[in-house]
Structure 1
Amino acid sequence: MTVAFVPLAFGQSPSSASTPATHPPGAAVASGHKLATEAGLQILREGGNAFDAAVAVSSTLSVVEPISSGLGGGGFFLLHDAASGKDVMIDARETAPESAKPEAYLDKDGKLDPNKAVNGPWSAGIPGLPAALVELATKHGKLPLKTSLAPAIKIASEGFPVYARMARGYAQRREVMERYPGTREVYLRGGKPIAEGDLFKQPELAHTLQLLADKGHDGFYKGETAKKLIAGVKQAGGKWTAEELANYQVKQRTPIVFDYKGWKITTVPPPSSGGIALASMLQILEGYDLKSMDAAHRTHLVVEAMRRAYRDRTFFLGDPDFTEVPQRVLLSKDYALGLRSTINPEKATPSDLLSGKPTPLEDDETTHFSIIDSEGNRVGATQTVNLLYGSGLIPKGTGVLLNDEMDDFALKPGTPNAFGVMGYEANAPKPGKRPLSSMTPTFMDNADKAIVLGTPGGSRIITMVLLGILGYDDGLSAQEVAALPRYHHQWLPDLIEAETGTFDEATVKSLEAMGHKLKLPGDTAAGGRGSSHVWGNLQTVEWDKRTNTLSGGSDPRNEVGSAAVE
């Protein structure tokens, strides 16, 4: 991870005036790879705005972070237009193909077939990211799409050095990826897999990107690329149709907006579960003075808020075009007050005491980037192919690694997916439906500051963004927020998971005395899905309007991430 700071644009210097500035002094970009950060800055220098820069960053990440995202995946793009003051979310989530019926994912005994759910053609939804790039350029940007895609095309053609995380991820997914001829052609060199330091060239992906640059939406969803995608899926035993590819469209959705202790929080609506869960957790927590508490009691209350929000996520959230999401109730401060009243400030609530059935009522294999430009436009974008290297399948001749987002549906109600989260009818697959996601790009605003933040991390995304918001509220800098230690609870399994070094011994003992079960790195005694040593890859940028300065924070857990200001 590198954090670079370069001179402010236009020769401006920070203002010390007490009156908040109306425009940032330059631009800030933070992303999971320094080549993507530089691509965004390059487009800004060429006269583009934050939305053009987002095309460059997103497409470059699609080239240099195949472990996390790509043209074969999707994402959510949270946009703030400075001129109008309006916010919008571009929903580029993948959609279920017509063939993806729940029974297709069950084995002969009626149990979920995990291989079909996360590997190969049946695990892949119709990609949304290419359509998002077209939407950003044509409806929000200043520059032609081909200009903003140029950095990614160049890097795909000329190559970049394989980094350690990319090589490690390939080693984990090698058996699956090498099942498919198109994937072997890209990832094997003389029969040997990619290794750290190799120059990784992707000429077929460069060609696919060039077709997108030249022909827009039709350059990916129709014609040459579409035919190759359909043929590759069929060859691997799956089924996509030309019609469902051609008909894919992004959706513009109204963001969720709520207040937390003087901050205006703008975040993503369904089919992300992140915005509603984030609002629920923060509106529960606003009733407490967290800053005055010791670490154990603060953690206890935050965990209890997490527990309740994730329980609601399980039962009520799904694609709003197919499911009636009780959003008004779930976002209500009165509902949060009711949840808060069930929390014992000194004792953990066992998850099995929270109803396991719906009650009547009146979402490392992802990447995030954050951008602020000199006009005050902002982009927070989280994009993914789901698990490491997605489905592992590259249809021959495309360079496009397909996602395995079908696992984000409740393929078998009540059965946990790869991230250990469950779902029911609200998130069951149907043709054209978008799976529930945890991606949570978010804006924070008050009189003094404007902030963009987000992170990858599967079901832990929402809680990492929560901890980032609480960190900014505590007065931490952007880089301090990016480096915050992390912990997580998702209702089931009933465990607090934490990174190495998050809690000292006294805090662990206090939490256990309250009745919490902890799953810490190296701990094999507890149940659950295990706890990694480090999580996520948070990327954030901040504009301090009082001093008129910009800063960025890039997660120190990621060796190739970068935040830059100019």
Structure 2
Amino acid sequence: MKLFARPLLLLALAFTPLAWADSPAVLAAPAQPAVAEKPDAAVIASAHHLATEAGHQILAAGGNAFDAAVAVSSVLSVVEPISSGLGGGGFFLLHDATSGKQTLIDARETAPASGVPAAYLDAQGNLDRDRSVNGPWSAGIPGLPAALVHLSGRYGKLPLAQSLAPAIRIAREGFPVYARMARGYASRAEVMERYPGTREVFLRNGRPIAEGDVFRQPELAATLERLAADGFDGFYKGRTGRLLLAGVKDAGGQWTAQDLASYKVIEREPIRFDYRGWQITTAAPPSSGGIALASMLQILEGWDLPSLAPAQRTHLVVEAMRRAYRDRTFFLGDPDFVHIPQRVLTSGDYAQGLRATIHPQKATPSDLLSGQPTPLEDEETTHFSIIDAQGNRVGGTQTVNLLYGSGLVPKGTGVLLNNEMDDFALKPGTPNAFGVMGYAANAPAPGKRMLSSMTPTFMDNGREVVVIGTPGGSRIITMVLLGILGFDAGLDAQAVAALPRYHHQWYPDVIEAESGTFDADTAQALRAMGHTLKLPGDEAAGGRGSSHVWGNLQTVHWDRVSNTLSAGSDPRNPVGSGQVVKAAEPVAVD
């Protein structure tokens, strides 16, 4: 903290006379209405209707939310290879209604023994971008299969094989290729067609998959069957383990049997904090999302955001984003390898100090926030949200990182490997594929987990319960932030899923936004405050570019006063689905 005291102090002295509403307003507590102890139905929102329906099928068979999460996660691993799969990892935020226990299952990928920084530099000492995002060297040891085994065995009611059955059937029988899947393949075809195992899965008589094709994955079905039969050993050892090692070696990589066998799921204490009467429970490191959310929301608690004009509100939210992402860059990494000043970074006092550095009418150049010399995730992740009829909750976010991950499918497995090694700071101060930088705290080391932006989150104010999350690379955290602000402002779940989105991540020092997020007057007002905007179609502002839409937010809401459930599935994703189903209503997957 000493490194950063001086610039923050100078900014505080400069701007404190102009700051306002430094403390949250104290409101009279309203009379509390009677609330339901548990819902009378179940609700699931996911990025594909087959996954949502599989989750409800498992609930109808007597499973709970945790069994349903295994079904939803594994089906997404089959039908969204563009976004996630058995070759990737994720985070699962759980709430057990009976005990009140809340925990975060950390199934983030780990670096293999060969994954040291020098392996990713070229002869000139520069980052070898092809090696960091493509092929075997870009892949960390997968965590998702271990998470499915752990989730089922420790928290579920049904056998693992029963919860995996929908995914096995869909992998074998196939499903229709959708437009995003075909477009994504076209953008990654050059890399994916380097590898024989990938060509066998994604080419049909030499032709790439196309929208409307029935996509069958018999080898992935067999891999899932071995996982169902033998649990952890069915993936990380035995036939699947041998095929993974051979495929990585044949492609020029260096995994070992010990890398696979030593993988472990870790249960972590979630990040918890309060915001305007809501208790927020969210992801802990190695996810950066929870600490960043705690910082941003506690900064913003000093203002009545809904009462402000759009430009003023956006300015303040952006300044909170800027400060949280700056701290992310320097402080956050795998807590099993580095010390993270979590207590400080999530404290209200620290947030109040950061708030004091915000000029209410002027942008803070990102250079001014650095306490040392200024240093020189694609959006294809997936999320699902579940509340069952007992009140159990799951927020799951899983990924293979960029579109189709590394592009490598080891022959005989059907498993598309991730390219999460790029989420490490492979060369300090060099941006990754998302333009995010890092230093020693997020440097790779054997067995270490790379920093993530995945942010599954619960909101609970006693009258309402929300589960929310989204894909989006480094934009995940800010999309969840805007979703939380939307629920706090009284929007319903579908309106929150449809909210327009904007983002700032400290560097590059630009506000990115979806099409239509800002009207002309708001954009002009933000520029007058000193902000640089990078809008779709604007190639002059720098930055990595803004696409017209972002993310794929999936959220569910339980109103405990009326005891009603609702789902919000991102309208940007035409194959997503949010469903509320009465406990007595079985849902067929067919």
| Category of TM-score, reference length = shorter chain | over 0.9
1:181 matched to 2:201? The reply is no
- Whole-angstrom CA distance in 1 between matches of 2:370 and 2:171: 50
| Contact 1:315–1:358 (8 Å) recurs in 2 | no
**Structure 1 segment 177-326 matched on structure 2, within 5 A:** 177-326=192-341
**Which residue of 442, 447, 451 maps to 2:466?**
451
Q: What amino acid is aligned across from residue 33 of structure 1 in structure 2?
A: H
- Counterpart of 1:447 in 2: which secondary structure? coil
- Whole-angstrom CA distance in 1 between matches of 2:370 and 2:109: 31
**Structure 1 segment 84-95 matched on structure 2, within 5 A:** 84-95=99-110
Aligned residues: 547
- Whole-angstrom CA distance in 2 between matches of 1:467 and 1:86: 27
Q: What amino acid is aligned across from residue 459 of structure 2 in structure 1?
A: M
Q: What amino acid is aligned across from residue 280 of structure 1 in structure 2?
A: S
Which residue does 1:31 correspond to in 2? 46
Which residue does 1:537 correspond to in 2? 552
For residues 180-201 of structure 1, the C-alpha deviation after alignment (integer angstroms, 9 at most, x for no partner) is 0000000000000000000000
CA 1:356/1:185 → structure 2, altered by over 3 Å: closer, same or farther? farther
| Contact 1:304–1:348 (8 Å) recurs in 2 | yes
- Whole-angstrom CA distance in 2 between matches of 1:76 and 1:285: 26
- Whole-angstrom CA distance in 2 between matches of 1:383 and 1:24: 26
- Counterpart of 1:78 in 2: which secondary structure? strand
For residues 288-326 of structure 1, the C-alpha deviation after alignment (integer angstroms, 9 at most, x for no partner) is 110110000000000000000000000000000001001
For residues 471-499 of structure 1, the C-alpha deviation after alignment (integer angstroms, 9 at most, x for no partner) is 00000000000000000000000000000
Which residue does 2:16 correspond to in 1? none
Q: What amino acid is aligned across from residue 153 of structure 1 in structure 2?
A: I
Which residue does 1:49 correspond to in 2? 64
**Which residue of 514, 519, 534 maps to 1:504?**
519
- Whole-angstrom CA distance in 1 between matches of 2:498 and 2:210: 28
1:349 matched to 2:361? The reply is no
Gaps of at least 5 residues in structure 2 are 1-31, 582-590
Which residue does 1:83 correspond to in 2? 98
Which residue does 1:481 correspond to in 2? 496
Deviation of 1:357 after TM superposition, in Å, equals 2.5
For residues 218-268 of structure 1, the C-alpha deviation after alignment (integer angstroms, 9 at most, x for no partner) is 000000000000000000000100011011110000000000000000001
- Whole-angstrom CA distance in 2 between matches of 1:447 and 1:407: 40
Which residue does 2:82 correspond to in 1? 67
Which residue does 1:381 correspond to in 2? 396
- Whole-angstrom CA distance in 1 between matches of 2:562 and 2:95: 21
- Whole-angstrom CA distance in 2 between matches of 1:450 and 1:336: 25
CA 1:565/1:358 → structure 2, altered by over 3 Å: closer, same or farther? farther
- Whole-angstrom CA distance in 1 between matches of 2:259 and 2:518: 49
- Counterpart of 1:296 in 2: which secondary structure? helix
Q: TM-score, length-normalised on structure 1?
A: 0.96
Deviation of 1:86 after TM superposition, in Å, equals 1.0
- Whole-angstrom CA distance in 2 between matches of 1:252 and 1:357: 34
Which residue does 2:26 correspond to in 1? none
Q: What amino acid is aligned across from residue 189 of structure 1 in structure 2?
A: R
Q: What amino acid is aligned across from residue 417 of structure 2 in structure 1?
A: L
Which residue does 2:386 correspond to in 1? 371
- Whole-angstrom CA distance in 1 between matches of 2:284 and 2:105: 10
- Whole-angstrom CA distance in 2 between matches of 1:357 and 1:211: 51
Which residue does 1:14 correspond to in 2? none
| Contact 1:68–1:388 (8 Å) recurs in 2 | yes
- Counterpart of 2:324 in 1: which secondary structure? helix
Which residue does 2:161 correspond to in 1? 146
| Contact 1:274–1:462 (8 Å) recurs in 2 | yes
For residues 155-198 of structure 1, the C-alpha deviation after alignment (integer angstroms, 9 at most, x for no partner) is 00000000000000000000000000000000000000000000
- Counterpart of 1:497 in 2: which secondary structure? strand
| Contact 1:60–1:151 (8 Å) recurs in 2 | yes
Which residue does 2:7 correspond to in 1? none
For residues 409-451 of structure 1, the C-alpha deviation after alignment (integer angstroms, 9 at most, x for no partner) is 0000000000000000000000000000000000000121010
Which residue does 2:584 correspond to in 1? none
Q: What amino acid is aligned across from residue 448 of structure 1 in structure 2?
A: R
Q: What amino acid is aligned across from residue 420 of structure 1 in structure 2?
A: G
- Counterpart of 1:411 in 2: which secondary structure? coil
- Whole-angstrom CA distance in 1 between matches of 2:35 and 2:252: 59
Deviation of 1:356 after TM superposition, in Å, equals 5.0
- Whole-angstrom CA distance in 1 between matches of 2:244 and 2:162: 25
Q: What amino acid is aligned across from residue 480 of structure 1 in structure 2?
A: A
**Which residue of 355, 359, 369 maps to 1:340?**
355
- Whole-angstrom CA distance in 1 between matches of 2:122 and 2:256: 24
Give me the identity figure in percent: 77
Which residue does 1:11 correspond to in 2? none
**Which residue of 184, 187, 190 maps to 1:169?**
184
Which residue does 1:471 correspond to in 2? 486
Which residue does 1:9 correspond to in 2? none
- Whole-angstrom CA distance in 1 between matches of 2:558 and 2:249: 49
Which residue does 2:477 correspond to in 1? 462
1:557 matched to 2:572? The reply is yes
- Whole-angstrom CA distance in 2 between matches of 1:465 and 1:128: 23
- Whole-angstrom CA distance in 2 between matches of 1:267 and 1:274: 8
Q: What amino acid is aligned across from residue 268 of structure 1 in structure 2?
A: A
Deviation of 1:34 after TM superposition, in Å, equals 0.3
Q: What amino acid is aligned across from residue 473 of structure 2 in structure 1?
A: G
Which residue does 2:506 correspond to in 1? 491
For residues 362-395 of structure 1, the C-alpha deviation after alignment (integer angstroms, 9 at most, x for no partner) is x721000000000000000100000000000000
- Whole-angstrom CA distance in 2 between matches of 1:249 and 1:212: 15
- Whole-angstrom CA distance in 2 between matches of 1:83 and 1:18: 22
Gaps of at least 5 residues in structure 1 are 1-16
Which residue does 2:542 correspond to in 1? 527
Deviation of 1:355 after TM superposition, in Å, equals 1.2
For residues 19-64 of structure 1, the C-alpha deviation after alignment (integer angstroms, 9 at most, x for no partner) is 1000101100000000000000000000000000000000000000
- Whole-angstrom CA distance in 2 between matches of 1:96 and 1:509: 45
Cα RMSD of the aligned pairs, angstroms, is: 1.0
| Contact 1:255–1:269 (8 Å) recurs in 2 | yes
